[in-house]
A and B are shown apart, each in its own frame.
Chain A
Amino acid sequence: MTMRLILAVAALLAGLSTAGAQAPNEPQERLDIGVSTNEIAITSDFSGADITVFGALDSADPFLLDLGEYDIVVALVGPQRETTVWRKERVLGIWINRRSMEFEPVAASYSLSSTRPVDLITDNIVLDRYEIGTDNIRLVPTGSIGDGSNIAEFRDALRRLKRQNGLFERDPHGVDFVSSSLFRASIRIPANVPLGEHTIRAYLFKSGNFIMERDASLRVVKTGLEQFIYAMAYERSFLYGLFAVAIAMLTGWLGSVIFRKN
């Protein structure tokens, strides 16, 4: 017991002393971000949008900054959703959905922006640890997976389809330094962006080493009439159904009345 305590205190002191030694000549860099908006409204003519994330890099070493040793990666991570991938196979001459694999909630969308391609910034182990990049988003199958031999093909299919639909995107040169300490990242939001709570994750790397992460949240909401219709459809669905029928009858009736007179 006492032995363990002594070790712990020693470790703590050691930690303090290294931190203390580092402090004067090598200040810890800090990353801060601000977003142009914290809410994206989906209107009836929504066809995608770009959001701009502004950020400041404090206490950076100017020499390393000139050498381009600092890298910024900004990701917009969509809401987590349960996802199923189906595979069609030919049965009696017809192509039907035969096999499926369910995954634990996966980011429904993912848009990445960085100072240069992420695989040039750091190695795969780091990217994988922080789940940076569409190849490194963790896809964990649930339910029956058979012998597990086909997990890879379903994962690849999920990533490929998400990319094809514009839900997984990246802009390897989307982050620019506007001054020595200020940067600007533009992130593309596709037209089919999922609704809900998105997270903006900004990562700072120095010479390939992860320094820190900053998060901000972004809500994607329907507005106005779209929001009203959507809410009615899900929360007052019986009323909504009756309304749909009433609109149909009214349209049909008006049609026959208006054209009768001509």
Chain B
Amino acid sequence: MTIYLPIAELSVNVFVILGMGAAVGFLSGMFGIGGGFLITPLLIFYNIPPAVAVATGANQVVASSFSGSIWHFKRGSLDLKLGTVLLVGGILGASVGIWIFTLLRRLGQLDLIVSIMYVVFLSVVGGLMLWESVNSMRRAAKNETVALRKPGQHNWVHRLPMKMRFKKSKLYLSVIPVIVLGFAIGVLTSIMGVGGGFIMVPAMIYLLRIPTNVVIGTSLFQIIFVTAFTTVVQATTNYSVDIVLAFLLMVAGVIGAQYGVRVGQKLRGEQLRALLALLVLAVGMRLGLDLLVPPDEVYSVITQGVGF
């Protein structure tokens, strides 16, 4: 059964799209991730124009992160003040990102930059995760334990000026690294169509030393607003949000996530992270291969509005 996507301006198989949404939703439920960094490359592999894939991906992340955040909001496991400072950086970053996105599209280099960024981020994050999970699996085998956060220990981040007190996180921290982190994630949201949780969560834990119990809730808070903002700005500047495509992905994704959560609870953390790391690396390599292997067709045609 095919369905016509009004903004992407092509007909797709509705079951392929639903399957993609469900599979990524399943993984996002299993690993506790937004899934934007898997959805966008998959859509590109399925010949959806990258500009539409990126903008629609951001829209889809609104749904998946909103679904996950309700639990945290009810329990109050988020630092609202910290989230707001992150959000200020995020909105600024997303605005700059959209400007870069529009410029790259005009120069005909959007697809390239999106691919390169995916290859770089997926390889680095996947590699780090694999290394970390293999290490902790080895430690678990030797019955060693490690504390994620060593209290009292400070790094260079904590010597920066413009400090602010974040009561909920029990931190007295400079706003500079928080805004910079939010800004960087905002840029990634608008250019790559991701929520950025896969970078923000480790950065908050290891770099800012934010307590793990508020990290997920706070990052989701920031992600919802930045992806929502990005969706609206992409819709008004590039007209590239395909609501039909986004809706199919969301519905399948939300359902898939519920089953993913159940499976995720039965698996062990390190094994789960190693699996996710391998998956992330595989997607990154597939995109990287497309850049390196001589293409079958070196020409491409762009017609006003469509094709890109």
Contact = CB atoms under 8 A, between A and B. Distances in A.
Interface of A: 42-47, 81-90, 93-97, 100, 108, 154, 157-158, 160-162, 191-192, 194, 222, 225-227, 229-230, 233-234, 237-238, 240-245, 247-249, 251-256, 259
B180 interface: no
B66 A252 contact: yes
Contact of A256 (B7, B67, B232, B250): B67
A251 B250 contact: yes
B299 interface: yes
A245 B62 contact: yes
B25 to A, nearest CB: 9
B47 to A, nearest CB: 11
A247 B306 contact: no
A46, A225, A252, A253: residue with the most chain B Cβ atoms closer than 10 Å = A252
A97 B108 contact: yes
Interface string B296-308: 0111111111100
B294 interface: yes
19 contacts: A45-B2, A46-B11, A86-B300, A87-B299, A88-B299, A94-B116, A97-B300, A160-B299, A161-B301, A229-B6, A241-B231, A244-B59, A248-B63, A249-B228, A252-B62, A252-B67, A252-B250, A253-B67, A255-B67
Nearest to A257: B70
B46 interface: no
B71 interface: yes
Contacts of B6: 222, 225-227, 229-230, 233
* Interface of B (DSSP majority class): helix
A249 B243 contact: no
Contacts of A233: 6-7, 235, 239, 241, 243
Given A252-B65, A252-B250, 20 more contacts: A42-B4, A45-B1, A46-B4, A84-B303, A85-B301, A89-B298, A95-B293, A96-B112, A162-B301, A233-B6, A233-B235, A233-B239, A234-B239, A237-B239, A238-B232, A244-B246, A245-B228, A249-B63, A252-B68, A253-B66
Contact of A84 (B108, B236, B251, B257): B108
Contacts of B9: 192
Which 3 A-B pairs rank lowest in CB-CB distance, beginning with the nearest? A241-B235, A255-B254, A252-B66
A255 B258 contact: yes
Interface of B: 1-4, 6-7, 9-11, 59-60, 62-68, 70-71, 108-109, 111-112, 116, 224, 228, 231-236, 239, 241, 243-244, 246-247, 250-251, 254-255, 257-258, 291-295, 297-306
A47 B233 CA distance: 32
A80 to B, nearest CB: 10
Contacts of A47: 2, 11
A247 B247 contact: yes
A45 B3 contact: yes
Nearest to B225: A245
Contacts of A194: 303, 306
B302 A237 contact: no
Nearest to B254: A255
Contact of A241 (B3, B116, B241, B247): B241
A6 B10 CA distance: 63
